[in-house]
Amino acid sequence: VQLQACGGGLVQAGGSLRLSCAASGGTLSRYHMGWFRQAPGKERDFVAVISWRGDVTYYTPSVEGRFTISRDKAKNMVYLQMNNVKPEDSAVYYCAAERSADPTYLSAYVRAYEYWGQGTLVTVSS
């Protein structure tokens, strides 16, 4: 499975941005899909995850209520809608796939994810 993230860019604080992640080389039907981000000099952190059924989501507290993760199984796409962005949201955002037999257990750990996209840069100006 190859993942490619896009949609990053420069946005003002309070604005919105939608990131997309396209999968190729296989189906995502049994993969939970996550978004992570990494700011310069910092570790890669969990942002959000959606189950392979699309019915369970989990967010890091700092983005809860502002970001929404979704997926289109027919198109093999995953999205991250980012609203009311803040300067601290600036980072390279990565999509990732975790193959799982459990439809409801979602991981926030980097090591749980097998496949990663190349990242897309989000810069939020104040």
The DSSP line for 78-90 is: EEEEE-S--GGG-
Per the DSSP assignment, residues forming a β-bridge with 8 are none
Kindly report, residue by residue over 31-90, the tens digit of the pLDDT: 999 999 999 999 999 999 999 999 999 999 999 999 999 999 899 999 999 999 999 999
Output the pLDDT for position 104: 86
**pLDDT above 90: percentage of residues in the chain:** 87
State the Cα–Cα distance between residues 60 and 113, nearest whole angstrom.
17
User: Average of pLDDT values for 81-102?
Assistant: 96
Q: How confident is the model at residue 101 (pLDDT cuts 50, 70, 90)?
A: confident
Average pLDDT in the chain: 95
